[in-house]
Structures are given as C-alpha cells and as structure tokens.
Structure 1
Amino acid sequence: MFHALVDADDRVLSGDARFAELNDRAAGRAGAGLALAAVGALVRIARGLRVPVARTVTIGDDRVDGDWHVRAVPGEDRTVALAATLLRERPAAAAAPGMIAEVSPPAGAAWTWEVDAGLRVTRLAPEAVTRHGLDPVVVLAQPLAGLFVLTAHSDGAMPLLEAVSNARDFAGQAATLRACGERVMLAGHVRHDVGGGFAGFVGGVFTDVPEASVPDGLTNNFNARLHRVLRMPLGTIIAQAESIRAAVDGPVDAHYMDYAADIASAGRHLLGLVDDLVDMEAIERSDFATARDPIDLGEIARTAAGLLAGAAAQAGVTIAPLSGEASALAIGEHRRALQIVVNLLGNAVAYSPRGGTVRMRLKRRDGHVRLLVADDGRGIPEHEQPRIFEKFVRGDDSEPGGNGLGLYIARRLAQAMDGALTVESGAGEGACFTLSLPDAA
C-alpha cells in the first residue's frame, strides 16, 4: 500500500515510505513533480472531473512491474489524495524475454475480468461499473467468489472449477452477480506464467442468458429489481451530470455547472441508499454469512483513512495516524470489515467541526482485536445511543446526507463476524465507536 498527497500543480506534498520508494525509482522527489506517469494521468482525470477516480495501473522499472489499484480523491483546493493497494508483482517485461504473450478475453463478451492463480480479481473492465454499478475498490484483490455466485449444471459440473484443476480454457459457467442478482454466463482463457504454470484467467461475462440456464427464484431477486429500476438509471444521471460539470463538450455557464454538481450529489446520495438497501436485504436473510479469514485490522484502518483522505481535507478535518498496535490479526471478512471502518470514519469526519481531528487506536483485549474511532463532534446523549443502531435513525437529522442505515448495517456485519460494534459518548464530548472482532492470534 501507499498514500500520498499532490498539489494543484502535481507537486508531491507528502507521501509514505512506500510511495517515496516508487517515486524515487522514477527519478522523482518530495516537493517536485509527481514522477509516476500513470498515477499522474489519474490525478489529472480526478481533478478535472472533480470526483474520485480509481484505476488499476502498472508501476515498475527494469526489474519489477507492479499492478496497483490506485484511488485519486480531489480536494476543494485542487489537491489530490492518493491511496493505492498492490495487487501483484511480476518480472518486468524487459527482464523476462521468455514471458508468454498476453491472453485475449473470450470474443463477444459484454465485459471482461481477470484473476490471478489464487482466483483473486486483478482487473475489472469499466463496463462492469457502468452496466452493473460494481465498485472496483471493493472487488479488486478479492476472491472471484465475492463477485459471482457460481451455479452448477444439472449433472453437478462446474466448468470454471474443472478448468482450474486442468489449467485449461472454460465456457458455459452459469453464475449470478452478487451485487445485483443478475444472471450471467462466464467463459475464460487460461493464462500461464513464465514456467508454463497456471497463472489465472482472462474472463468474459455474457449477459444474454436463457431462463433455463439458472435455477428458479432468481428472476424476482430483490437486488436484481433494484439494479434494473434504480441503480443503472442513477448511474447514468450521475455520469451525465458530471460530464456537464466537467464541461467536456465545451464551455458551460457557471450556474449550470452548479446545478449539475447538485444533481450528481443527489444521485450519489440515492445510489448510496440503494446500496444500503441491498446490504440490508442481504444481512437480514437467514442464510447470510461472512468469511472467516485472518485479516489485519490495522491495514484495514489505514486503507479506510486513505479512501477518506480527500473528504476529510475538504471538510477541514484531520485523520490522525493509527495509534496503538501497528497491526493485529483478527478473524473476519476483509471487504465487510473495510465497509464498517469506512462507515465509522465517514461519520466521524462528517460530524467533526472544521479543524477537528479523528483518531483511531488499535488494541487487543480479552481475545478480541478492537479498533477505536473517535471524533471531536458534539457527541451523542446517552439516551440516544441505543437508537442510532436502529434502521433509518440518524444521530442528527439536521445534518445533510445520510439515510440512517449505515450504523444498523455496520453493527449487523460486526455481529455476523462474531464481533460487536459499540459507542461511548456524551453530549459535547465527541463520540468513540469500537469495532471488536475475534483475535486470530
């Protein structure tokens, strides 16, 4: 991982040690221009559109190439905060002349994806975002099973799994998109490493699926209906509003740019509500379960801080470096734990006064790993504290944004991972939320 901040002229204002190492290898230095060309292009896109942008880019030298998922978040002062996660490293092309050529995806696919040898997603085509509202930040580096629910044939065959065992191409794998419940068909071409071993798939998604190819009951899936009725139209509205705001087709009157910004903001709020309703439907099912993997709660906290760096800077709030233990392994699901921490940090930033500080602390106690998120806000009266974890209840209805589902979902997710989410606060004293998960040690 790395984090960095660049100014309006793409000069490096700050960056952690990992970023400095990469930037120095590209002949850059602190205070000078950003030397990582691919990252610089992403910075300029985010600044021009004035919205967060995420891409997978390659950063490397003559020895090693690294595929990084980089998120660029613009601030009001035209600074851009960067947060990146390393997906994989491989020998640089110049250093490995015997490397097998890139593999093409299956022909005719609606959109494409790629996974490594561990079946973790390394690339997601932009069409997956525009067509289905998928979030690359959530999907990338996660298991393929987090993106698709695979369906066995009537004889029990699973083409994708058989292809993994035999390191060969596959086709005709029925599946359902977890995010929206849409039925799809998967195919993939195998990728080999330098030594000829299995290195993953370059896959395609086919959306024209016959009714007989999937089990009954999915046609009325709640998530699928939300996707069809709300998610896709809202995504189109947001994209068009941002295009007007960015004046991509020529000069636009300043008043209309402001109107477009309001439309985009309202669209994102509604899209967030759709996502929360989808999550609520999922967590309230009797068969809902989360993964039981070792996860580093310290790394998750730092990732969440990077994702919210731009919003915090815009609000004039500082997210202090994580204190306490640098890392602590807990048992849970990485994606769901990150979702909880992003929610807690986002609330802390939103309710902190300008000039305030949000603090995180990591500690172990009584067989659990605890992450504390504290703010300098107005606090929550004791009699209100139980209510803020209920559906559609907000801590302060006078504040803009929010729908009253975030903390309800966060607590249910924590409980699903055999953990807990609690709050300590008092009127005028700020609030401290604690996420507790079982210790993996």
Structure 2
Amino acid sequence: MNERIIRGRIDRSGVLVSADTPLLRLQQRAGSGLGKPLALPHLARLVALAQRLHRDISRPMYTADDHSNIHALVRIAPDADGASLEISDWRTGPTIHPQIPVIADSALTRQGWTWECDQQLRVVALRAASDAPSVPAGWEGRSLSELFELQPDEDGRFPVLRALGRQSRFDGQRVQADGPAGRIAMTLTGEPQFDAAGVFVGFRGSAELAEPQAQAQAAPLPGAVLTDPAFGSLPLSDPQFGRRIDGALRGPLSRIIATAETISGQFDGPIRADYARYAGDIAHAGRHLLGLVDDLADLQNIERPGFKAAADEIDLGDLARRAVGLLGMKAEEKGIRIDAPRVDDKMPATGEFRRVLQVLLNLLGNAIRYSPENSQIWIRVDRADDRAMITVADQGQGIDADQQAVVFEKFERLGRTDSGGSGLGLYIARRLARAMEGDLTVESAPGQGARFTLSLPARD
C-alpha cells in the first residue's frame, strides 16, 4: 500500500485553495486549477456531502483523466471555513484497494442498488441500476436501519449489526424499503472499508431485490380502505387480519430492536454500562414481541379452515441436530449441555420440514428457558410400530398432573408472569403435529423434569 498522504484544501464555496502536486495535476487536467472550483465531480460530491452532514467522512474515490484511471481513499474533514482533504492509497490503472471491492454495474443486473455508509451506519451514497426502482429522496445522512427496515434472521439477530461489531463482511440481511410503487423486499450484502491507517470507516455493498414471494409479502394488501390503517374492522378469522398484524407490528419492532442493539453494542461510542444493559433489555423485549407476532400469525394460519401441512420426507435425527445448532448458544449461556442424536442416529418420518423444525425449536427453547443452570437436556429419536418419535427431556421443575391437562391449551402459561413466552407455542406445536397426522404429548412429575414427545408417521 502506498502510505503517502496527498493533502488539499477547499474553501466554503468549493474552490480548491491548496493542493499537493498529484491532486493539483489532476485538477489541471480537468481544465481547472488553484483558486478555481473543484473540477473532479466524484470528489466534489463527497466534499458537498461532508459539509452538508457537518462531519468527517472517509470514502473510496474513483476518477480518471486522459492518462489513467485513479483509485484512492479520501478523508474529508469539514470545518467553518471549508474542508481539508487527505488522500491515501493513490493508485493508477486497474489496481483497486484490496479490502474495498468495486461493485460494478454488472453486480446490479438483478435490479438492485449500491450503497455506502460510514462507521455509524449513516448512508453517504446510494444509487440504483438502470432497471431498478429509483432510490428514495432524502436518503443522505439517514441511518442504514432507517432507510432500510432491517428484518431479523431465524435466530432473531441482524447480520449487519453483528458485522458492525466485528468490522467484517455480511450478507443475507433481509430488509424492506420504500420504492416508487410501495414497499419492496431486498437483501443487503456489505464489505467493510478501512482507511490507509487500517481504521474502519464503514461499509460498501449492494441491495438486491428479493424473490417474488418475498415481494408479495412486503407489498401492501389490495382491497378496500379500512377504518384503522393497521387493523381496521377485520374479524380474527379473516386471513388478512394476521397479515395486517404482522405488517403493522413487525416493522416498528424490527427498528426498535436494531436501534437498541446499536446502543447496547456502543457502536456510536461508549456509554454508561447501565444504559447499555437497559438497551440490551429493550432489544430482548423486542425479540420477545416479535416472537409473539410470529405466534399470532401461526395461530391465525393453523386455525384457518382447510389448513394442511406438506408431507415431506424428513429425518428427525437431522432436524434435532439443526435445532441444537440454532439454539446451542442460548444453552451455553446458562451452562446447559444438550445431549443430541449422533450423526448416525437417523429416524425417517413424514412431515413438513419447516413445521417439524418449528415444533422442535419450540420444545428445545422451552427446555432451555425453564431448565436450571448447569443442567442437561436430552434429545432422543425412537420408533414404535408405524410411529417415528423424537423426545426432548429436561431437568426442570416438572409439570404436575393438573398442569399437564392444560399445558397444550391456548394462551396457557401455567401461572407464570415472566416474559418467557406467549402461551401459544405448545398449542401451535400440537396443532401442527396433528395436522401432520402425528401428535405431541408430555410426561412429567414435579421435581423430575419434563419429557415432550413428537410422534409422526414413520417412513421405511
């Protein structure tokens, strides 16, 4: 890397008042000079952006003259009299900074956008491909999580926030954004950017349109205008009710979680430890509410007349290991050991893959939530006649006979007042099991833990 720093100075009117030789030569080749407006369009836009935001920005600079293509990193520090420029890693020809891949127009063939943000996730560049939806107005300086409505992954996390803490690459960050024709679903991919001194300065990446199915979920629902824009007067049995709840709650909750995790992670600078903990509690509560939204959507779906589950060929041993992989970290936080089926423990069955995994995640999540620290959870697969079975057993406080009679009822939380769940998980899990021609049962006794067994049609 070329460590030489090339400096320049711009006054408040955009005039180049001083410049080291390489920058001055480039200015002259563009038909200008000292004491004249900056004639390099890309650099002039970055200077204007830094002055408008009233803060330092560090960005890649791409320009060219009759002699060569030039790639560099520029740091712009605005002040009351103009702005100072520090340009590093000045390269000519096709060579590009190894840590900052250029996203060419060919990367936008799926009708996407390219974007750049600083180390505080404030957007400093946004452009659309020729066949993509136009970018929204007023994006300059807005938070990435405000411009793009971040959606959590299956574990309730946000890849972009995790990458921010690690200053690493991320992909698969699902988002929604405002397009000219309404809401659009997209997927963000980003690469970290570093200045000449190796200091993290932000991300640069692409936003690609999601598949048509995801677009349909993001699009506003057709139909008559409702009295209440969020819920209206739709009955609970109407399929649009669950979708409107999901649309009205998921977006705001996702923004709350993203903001709280940003504060908790102290990405914008250090804060008091108790404030960081408060923000962490807010993020935790937000994820709990998102789980409730998921439960309500599932409840509305499974109680719809004619609901059916797919008949996939599955392996309960494989699904058990997948569930452990998704929730293993939560168990480790409590010192809980999970004894899962071995790789060669196979149990062929028939059921809808994602629904069976959903049931197992609910059972394992409950076992982790209500097990004491430093205890153990067992997951076993077995077969009895034409039934394939998987059992999740814990060392928790157990469930007495009276409670076992109601544990699968709707909104039943066995008298608990904590924020551990909605009281819908086991009800939904049993309904799903029976929709797949199976069942979900429990065996327990006070002080002896609980054993939940999912049975499904076996497959030879």
Deviation >3 Å, runs of 4+: 130-138, 183-187, 201-212, 217-220
Long gaps (5+) in structure 1: 1-100, 112-125, 139-176, 178-182, 188-200
Q: Distance in 1 between matches of 2:274 and 2:405?
A: 43
Aligned to 1:235: 254
Q: Deviations over 1:189-209 (max 9, x none)?
A: xxxxxxxxxxxx984648667
Using the TM superposition, give the Cα deviation of residue 283 of structure 1 relative to its aligned residue in structure 2, in angstroms: 0.5
Using the TM superposition, give the Cα deviation of residue 224 of structure 1 relative to its aligned residue in structure 2, in angstroms: 2.5
Aligned to 2:311: 292
Which runs of structure 2 are paired with 1:161-180 in the superposition (5 Å)?
Answer: none
Match among 333, 338, 342 for residue 319 of structure 1: 338
Long gaps (5+) in structure 2: 1-105, 112-130, 136-143, 157-175, 177-181, 187-208, 224-233
Residues 222, 339 of structure 1: CA spacing in aligned structure 2 closer, same or farther, 3 A cutoff? Answer: same
Q: Which amino acid aligns with 1:238?
A: I
Using the TM superposition, give the Cα deviation of residue 354 of structure 1 relative to its aligned residue in structure 2, in angstroms: 1.2
* Contact 1:370-1:437 at 8 Å conserved across structures: yes
Residues 416, 109 of structure 1: CA spacing in aligned structure 2 closer, same or farther, 3 A cutoff? Answer: farther
Q: Distance in 2 between matches of 1:323 and 1:210?
A: 46
Using the TM superposition, give the Cα deviation of residue 267 of structure 1 relative to its aligned residue in structure 2, in angstroms: 1.0
Match among 251, 257, 260 for residue 276 of structure 2: 257
Q: Which amino acid aligns with 1:388?
A: V
Q: Secondary structure at the match of 2:451?
A: strand
Aligned to 2:167: none
Match among 95, 106, 109 for residue 104 of structure 1: 109
Which runs of structure 2 are paired with 1:412-431 in the superposition (5 Å)?
Answer: 412-431=431-450
* Contact 1:324-1:361 at 8 Å conserved across structures: no
Aligned to 2:293: 274
Using the TM superposition, give the Cα deviation of residue 329 of structure 1 relative to its aligned residue in structure 2, in angstroms: 1.3
Q: Distance in 1 between matches of 2:423 and 2:326?
A: 21
Q: Which amino acid aligns with 1:264?
A: A
TM-score normalised by L of structure 1 = 0.54
Q: Deviations over 1:257-305 (max 9, x none)?
A: 1111111111111111111011100010012111111011111000101
Aligned to 1:49: none
Q: Distance in 1 between matches of 2:134 and 2:406?
A: 45
Using the TM superposition, give the Cα deviation of residue 437 of structure 1 relative to its aligned residue in structure 2, in angstroms: 0.6
Q: Distance in 1 between matches of 2:347 and 2:277?
A: 45
1:378 paired to 2:378: no
Residues 296, 365 of structure 1: CA spacing in aligned structure 2 closer, same or farther, 3 A cutoff? Answer: same
Q: Deviations over 1:220-242 (max 9, x none)?
A: 71133113321111111111011
Using the TM superposition, give the Cα deviation of residue 395 of structure 1 relative to its aligned residue in structure 2, in angstroms: 3.6
Residues 267, 208 of structure 1: CA spacing in aligned structure 2 closer, same or farther, 3 A cutoff? Answer: closer
Q: Distance in 2 between matches of 1:110 and 1:279?
A: 35
Using the TM superposition, give the Cα deviation of residue 135 of structure 1 relative to its aligned residue in structure 2, in angstroms: 3.9
1:369 paired to 2:393: no
Q: Deviations over 1:80-134 (max 9, x none)?
A: xxxxxxxxxxxxxxxxxxxxx97821332599xxxxxxxxxxxxxx99xx64846
Using the TM superposition, give the Cα deviation of residue 403 of structure 1 relative to its aligned residue in structure 2, in angstroms: 1.5
RMSD: 3.6
Q: Secondary structure at the match of 1:247?
A: coil
Q: Secondary structure at the match of 2:407?
A: helix
Q: Secondary structure at the match of 1:433?
A: strand
1:432 paired to 2:456: no
Residues 208, 431 of structure 1: CA spacing in aligned structure 2 closer, same or farther, 3 A cutoff? Answer: closer
Q: Deviations over 1:136-179 (max 9, x none)?
A: 579xxxxxxxxxxxxxxxxxxxxxxxxxxxxxxxxxxxxxx9xx
Q: Secondary structure at the match of 1:291?
A: coil
Q: Which amino acid aligns with 2:378?
A: R
State how many pairs are aligned. Answer: 267
Residues 387, 219 of structure 1: CA spacing in aligned structure 2 closer, same or farther, 3 A cutoff? Answer: closer
Q: Distance in 2 between matches of 1:438 and 1:132?
A: 39
* Contact 1:421-1:433 at 8 Å conserved across structures: yes
* Contact 1:323-1:362 at 8 Å conserved across structures: no
What is the percentage of aligned positions where both structures have the same residue?
44
Larger Rg: 2
Residues 354, 136 of structure 1: CA spacing in aligned structure 2 closer, same or farther, 3 A cutoff? Answer: closer
* Contact 1:323-1:360 at 8 Å conserved across structures: no
Using the TM superposition, give the Cα deviation of residue 387 of structure 1 relative to its aligned residue in structure 2, in angstroms: 0.5
* Contact 2:439-2:454 at 8 Å conserved across structures: yes
Aligned to 2:64: none
Q: Distance in 2 between matches of 1:255 and 1:306?
A: 31
Q: Distance in 1 between matches of 2:210 and 2:222?
A: 26
Higher relative contact order (CA 8 A, sep 6+): 1
Q: Distance in 2 between matches of 1:202 and 1:317?
A: 38
* Contact 2:312-2:352 at 8 Å conserved across structures: yes
TM-score normalised by L of structure 2 = 0.52
